[in-house]
Structure 1
């Protein structure tokens, strides 16, 4: 029997992912999102991007629109600001590592896919998902992932040694700030998402996940 066929008895309509993946996943909230027909200008201001009203996660968070707006603008500045600093794909790598440690399969899928697309290092990103943050790749990659791991486990575990390793790997002060911001933001965001709902496998992704699992098993 495929892991995707072992649905929970009380929720037979929900298919949960059984592994970390770069395949696009869905997300189901445990609390009701705000219906689109109830959204006002205040809510759309909080969403920042109107199309997010159709996304269950943001439609839930928009019940507190001012908080959501601050969260979204921070997210955009951390991951989309191209005025210097760490390449965007390495910020996505830091977020992927944090999500891998926290067990947020949905966030890991989003940021792993972004990291792969931007870096063209799909195999390395998949190795991180499959083997975890201890899988070595190269000095720079390993320093970013280890810094993200330490920050995610508990901020006090992050130390001057992590900063030194990042610097030795070629990161300047602004790069290091970006690596820390990417990991720290998603360390927080993962825990919020994990407390509000769960990832799901949309019908369109089921076959792809089955194929991914078969390929992983064959190469093991």
Structure 2
């Protein structure tokens, strides 16, 4: 296989934000599963990710992917203290909604709905956008996440104040920042490498 761009035509690509499972296809050739070396598998962190064309594309640089994946897992799964998982996922969903990353928004919206049991509110965020009213606490998380995501970012003291006023402590505020900042970057990477596709 070559490294050339493949730019496959996607029939009926998803064009609306959804909590349904959708696919993703790269514009560059990922490694095939039978090309993966032990170092590639180690870089994936989870061997099951070898099924994903996205991770098989990123694993061309296994050192960077390994660091990226461990950072991702620590931000979203290390919930022994700080922000509840649902609101970490809300921060990622808000960043993805603002950035226009339909695939990432679908993934993190499902997690936010599952962990919060507020599926209708999560869907409202997807349908109406980041200005919709979700209540004081969620509004503060969304506003801070969007401020970090804007180009250039406009995150400032007022967002910290808003999060604190909504009841978040310092560790929880840090988790909002980590979740939004990571997906601000991750969305832009995914948007530059491929596009969403209908579910297989």
TM over 0.5: yes
Q: Is the 8 A contact 1:15 1:200 kept in 2?
A: yes
Q: Is the 8 A contact 2:147 2:154 kept in 1?
A: yes
The one of 2, 25, 28 aligned to 1:28:
25
The one of 65, 74, 90 aligned to 1:93:
90
**What is the rounded CA distance, in whole Å, between the counterparts of 1:130 and 1:140 in structure 2?**
19
2:126 is the alignment partner of 1:129: yes
The structure with the largest alpha-carbon Rg is 1
Shift of 1:14: 2.7
**What is the rounded CA distance, in whole Å, between the counterparts of 2:169 and 2:157 in structure 1?**
14
2:169 is the alignment partner of 1:169: no
The one of 105, 118, 141 aligned to 1:144:
141
The one of 5, 14, 18 aligned to 2:15:
18
2:110 is the alignment partner of 1:113: yes
Change beyond 3 A, Cα 1:12–1:190: closer
In the superposition, the TM-score normalised over structure 1's length comes to 0.86
* Secondary structure of the structure 2 residue equivalent to 1:28: strand
Q: Give the corresponding residue for 1:57.
A: 54
Higher helix fraction (1 or 2): 1
Q: Give the corresponding residue for 1:181.
A: 178
2:197 is the alignment partner of 1:196: no
Q: Is the 8 A contact 1:15 1:202 kept in 2?
A: no
Q: Which runs of 5+ in 1 are unaligned?
A: 1-9, 204-220
**What is the rounded CA distance, in whole Å, between the counterparts of 1:149 and 1:79 in structure 2?**
18
**What is the rounded CA distance, in whole Å, between the counterparts of 1:63 and 1:118 in structure 2?**
33
Q: Is the 8 A contact 1:98 1:148 kept in 2?
A: yes
In the superposition, the TM-score normalised over structure 2's length comes to 0.94
Q: Segments of 4+ in structure 1 off by > 6 A? A: none
Q: Which runs of 5+ in 2 are unaligned?
A: 1-6
Q: Give the corresponding residue for 1:37.
A: 34
2:56 is the alignment partner of 1:83: no
